[in-house]
Amino acid sequence: MALAGCQREAEDPDAGKDSKYGGTAVFRIHSEVNYMNPFSGGIYSLEGISEGLVREQRDVAGKYVGVLAEDWDISPDGCTYTFKLRKGVKWHDGEPFTADDVIFSYNLVMNEEAGISHRAYMYIDGEPIVYEKVNDYEVKMILPKKYAPALNYLVPIVPKHYVEDLPPAKIKEYEWERDPIFTGPFKFVEYKTGEYVRLERFEDYWGGRPYLDEIILRIIPDNNAAAVALESGEIDFTDAPPDVFKRLENAGTFQAFQGASGIVHFICMNNKAFPFDDVRVRQAISHLVNREAICEQVHSGYAKPAYGFMVPTDMFYNDDANVKHEYDVEKAKQLLADAGFEPGPDGILVKDGKKFEFDLLYRHGDVQREQAALIVQSDLAKVGITMNPRGLEWSAIVRELNANTDPLPFDAILLANGLGPDPDRYSAIYASWSYPSGGPGSNYCAFLNPEVDELFERGQTEMDSEKRQEIYNELQTIISDQCPSAFMWYPQTMYCYSQRLKVDEAEMSSLNWVRFWNPAWLYVTDGK
């Protein structure tokens, strides 16, 4: 089943002046490193530290290549996956990787005391997925029934010998970013708070000796400061917003890259609260989102209008299936009138004595979301809706999302997600069983639709790709029509990097969850 991963024959590091071995590359990161916990869902592949059993195949949504698993078989009934683990793999401290690590990781995830969110993905219709050891280099994953997106939800792997003495209840509190041990091509050396993270080549990497001696991750929160650092040669690589990207690209002295990010931005409306408990109101809001203006004015054209919950890089994405609520002020007025709203003496819409006024929350400091919110505010005012944009620290927004109330306390929040490639992941956002209601779940918009639930369930168990396409076409139509959220734009990923940094063999990605598919093969031309 597996395609070849990133293994290659090791090259002679002394094979002449053109050898690719040696040197240090410096990458910009935005903030403190708090995403190396493998159970938080935040491992960032740039570092080349962590690996799983499989990963997605580059540019082929829904296809996978083996990593720590070199191959796997699926039983005829689709319920048993047998993974053949790669032999000779070492953890960064030199200990061997075996099936015991996989089984330990599974048991840890399934332990309620650990409180690991991935546990939610280890059940199908309330029945647990089971991992069993066959021998030191073979494990079985047994499903209660066939499950099309199974490879999307494989358990994250941690070293048994390294964390087995840690009480499960303490596992999420462990500071992984201070001393992580994984199997990837680069290993952790040093973390200096507020300044940088230093990684070095893992000489015993199973895939072959990585090119670079070191990778430095420089913490630079400000985009303009990052651009200056690139121009001065202090760093080799940074992402950039449209204005900075344009300037650096036009300078002609840097390499530039852009591509589909796999992210959609949207206004998450509280479907359980006035006035968004009426689908006509939600549709009106969607008609008042001037997507073209946002893409041009906020993103300088480096974004595309979004009309549905899936993104173009997802499996089964079909833009033709989306009901497109184009910018149309008159249509919005009619929908609002049909919903019972009338202009009050001050011009603000009123229904049953309640004014149409709400707060739109967004992450403070996110300039693009703030600008988009202001554009939407102006267009809503044209029909008599008062919208108050409020920038909050991300921690405050998380408190709103995770509040132990039903309904949740907010009116609307500007959010984004990129969950791909399998659209089953969106059941965590739009299926009724994912509505928090005082508990775990990410259906923050409180969209409760039995037809949508049934379609998500059918998509999970249908193994035929053409039939799954039909299911997700229907889901895209229903969700875009019902507007639990007002979908706004798909941003482009934009990177600028120095001429000395070579990325072709590392296979750069535009997807938001991975920068390089094979970071072991990054190199610098000057060997410094």
SS3 label, residue 308: coil
What is the per-residue pLDDT for 276?
98
Nearest to 397 by CA among 436, 360, 357, 358: 360
What residues have CB less than 8 Å from 528, skipping those under 6 apart? 22, 23, 24
To which H or E segment does residue 350 belong?
strand 349-351
For the chain, the helix, strand and coil percentages under 3-state DSSP, each to the nearest 5:
30, 25, 45
pTM: 0.84
What is the per-residue pLDDT for 7?
53
H-only helix segments in 348-449:
367-381, 394-401, 427-430
- φ, ψ for residue 422, nearest 5 deg: -85, 125
Tokens of 407: 């309904």
What is the per-residue pLDDT for 170?
79
Nearest to 485 by CA among 262, 339, 270, 275: 270
What is the per-residue pLDDT for 3?
44
Angle at alpha carbon of residue 316, lines to 314 and 318, rounded to 5°: 95
Report the alpha-carbon distance of residue 448 to residue 432 in Å, rounded: 5
Residue pair 182/92 in contact by the 8 Å Cβ criterion: yes
Q: What is the CA radius of gyration of the chain?
A: 24
Residue at token pair 């209840």: 169
- What is the block-wise mean pLDDT of the chain (528 residues), using blocks of 10 residues? 48 54 94 67 60 82 88 96 98 97 95 82 90 98 95 92 88 74 93 92 96 95 94 96 91 92 96 98 99 96 96 94 98 98 97 97 92 98 98 90 88 91 90 76 92 96 94 98 98 96 92 88 91
What is the per-residue pLDDT for 210?
97
Report the alpha-carbon distance of residue 240 to residue 215 in Å, rounded: 20
- Which stretches does DSSP call E strand in 251-337? 255-260, 264-269, 303-305
- φ, ψ for residue 396, nearest 5 deg: -70, -35
Report the alpha-carbon distance of residue 433 to residue 120 in Å, rounded: 11
Q: Does domain 264-492 have CATH number 3.10.105.10?
A: yes
SS3 label, residue 403: coil
What is the per-residue pLDDT for 6?
52
Distance linking the first and last C-alpha atoms of the chain: 40
- φ, ψ for residue 253, nearest 5 deg: -105, 0
Residue pair 270/445 in contact by the 8 Å Cβ criterion: yes
To which H or E segment does residue 287 belong?
helix 279-287
Strands 485-497 and 255-260: antiparallel
Report the alpha-carbon distance of residue 468 to residue 459 in Å, rounded: 6
Residue pair 226/220 in contact by the 8 Å Cβ criterion: yes
Residue pair 325/308 in contact by the 8 Å Cβ criterion: no
Tokens of 310: 């899936």
Q: How many CB atoms lie within 10 A of CB 346?
A: 9
What is the per-residue pLDDT for 40?
58
Report the alpha-carbon distance of residue 105 to residue 160 in Å, rounded: 7
What is the per-residue pLDDT for 171?
78
What is the per-residue pLDDT for 4?
45
For 369, counting Cβ atoms within 10 Å of its Cβ (0-12 exposed, 13-18 middle, 19+ buried), the class is buried
